[in-house]
Amino acid sequence: MDFHSSLAEHGSSQTFASEADAPDPLAHFRSKFHLPKSPDGHDLIYFAGNSLGLQPVTVRTYIEQELDDWARLGVEGHVHARKPWLPYHEFVADPLARLVGAKPVEVVAMNSLTVNLHLLMVSFYRPTPERYKIVIEKGAFPSDQYAVESQLQFHGYDRSGIVELTPRDGETILHTDDILTTIDREGDAVALIMLGGVNYYTGQAFDMSAITAAGHAKGCIVGFDLAHAAGNLKLDLHDWNVDFAAWCSYKYLNAGPGGIAGIFVHERHAFSFDLPRFAGWWGHDKESRFKMGPDFKPLAGAEGWQLSNPPIFQLAALRASLELFDQATIAELRKKSEKLTGYLEFLLNNIETERISIITPSDPAARGCQLSIRVHHADRSLFEKLTAQGVIADWREPDVIRVAPVPLYNSFTDVYRFSKILEELV
């Protein structure tokens, strides 16, 4: 029997979770992470991997290696460290490319997310009086809203240049048809479409392939903020023809607070050296970088968008983390994730209460790990009681608890325990 029929039949039985955990080929990855514990030593139920992913056990070794090489070699570490610092960012290109469905030349790890959105908009938001608008989703993450509005202002426009994709009256999530219709209707005046791959609040995953095609058909540039999609969904950025994307690495990618972010620039822009860009020496041709000449010669591909030499300790943490994604593979993680989140949804729907409802789409293709639970009457005390019972999730104003069982380190038993605690509280 496949997972979904057995869920429908036995999902509420007490043994379902342990019977689902036992054959799980990814279950052993849990032991590769530090799980936060309660004061009395129990594993907390950690459902906040969409906010800050847990620490891979190997991160310490990877960072210590760089501390040792720095201590041992000083500046010579740039060339003689076991993993030399000069090309260090190149060590994550292949795994990052595998993770987001890109070619290595299309990705680079650099800076942090909002900074990268701006740098990419410098190149890819090029408004003209006829075509200057930017399409975003209503309720986009605040930093993205600020970034977009300030880019408009920088070019002499104001927020009336923002086209917001808005749910139908009384609804919370967007219909793909409505998104495509808006693009078709407004597209001639739109310079840039920039949506989240997964909306941080509702957990809705957008059809990035269809949106990209619709945008291109109207002559728009299409970029995605993948903060909640990288390491969560199976992405095919190259094949989807996305122009650019950016993501952070501290959420599903488990590379630590403030971790180094990543960008994707499609190969067809890799050699477009006439794109405007803000330049720095790390984006300059490697052969002549240390000739220290005055003329900027950008590297081909995403690397050409780098400005500064990168933080090696952050990159070391990212290396450790990406190794786990390579071992598990995003395809297998996604399979498990659909089951985990499907199980969570099933159990929540079986709780008899009027106090909560799930706003995340029920179609597995339209969401990742996260379920957003609307708490009626915005009763935050429910969230506080969950926390007191050992559940780490988060509250997003005005009335949502976000929970994200992630397939690398969460189990079906975590989901079961969570649902029992919640059932008790409502």
Which residue, 114 or 372, has its beta carbon nearer to ligand PLP? 114
252 binds ligand PLP (CB under 6 A): no
Taken in order 16, 18, 23, 26, is the CA torsion positive or negative?
positive
Single out the residue of 46, 85, 124, 141 in contact with ligand PLP (rule: CB under 6 A).
141
136 binds ligand PLP (CB under 6 A): no
Single out the residue of 7, 110, 113, 299 in contact with ligand PLP (rule: CB under 6 A).
113
248 binds ligand PLP (CB under 6 A): yes
* Buried b / exposed e along 417-426 (16+ C-beta atoms within 10 A): bbbebbeebe
Which residue, 63 or 248, has its beta carbon nearer to ligand PLP? 248
Count of residues near ligand PLP by CB under 6 A: 12
Which residue, 81 or 400, has its beta carbon nearer to ligand PLP? 400
Pairing between strand 45-46 and 391-392? parallel
- Minimum CB distance to ligand PLP, residue 162 (Å): 16
- Minimum CB distance to ligand PLP, residue 42 (Å): 29
- Minimum CB distance to ligand PLP, residue 327 (Å): 25
Single out the residue of 139, 187, 196, 283 in contact with ligand PLP (rule: CB under 6 A).
196
Torsion of CA 33, 36, 41, 43, to 10 degrees: -70
Single out the residue of 58, 65, 112, 309 in contact with ligand PLP (rule: CB under 6 A).
112
Which residue, 116 or 419, has its beta carbon nearer to ligand PLP? 116
Which residue, 113 or 330, has its beta carbon nearer to ligand PLP? 113
243 binds ligand PLP (CB under 6 A): no
Single out the residue of 143, 241, 329, 387 in contact with ligand PLP (rule: CB under 6 A).
143
> What distance in Å separates the CA atoms of residue 255 and residue 249, rounded to the nearest whole number?
5
Q: Which residues contact 311 (CB under 8 A, 6 or more apart)?
A: 260
Which residue, 314 or 419, has its beta carbon nearer to ligand PLP? 314
Q: Binding segment for ligand PLP among 29-37, 88-96, 140-148, 319-327 (CB under 6 A)?
A: 140-148
- Tell me if 255 sits within 8 A of 53, measured CB to CB: yes
- Minimum CB distance to ligand PLP, residue 71 (Å): 30
Catalog residues that contact ligand PLP under the rule CB under 6 A.
112-114, 141, 143-144, 196, 200, 225, 227-228, 248
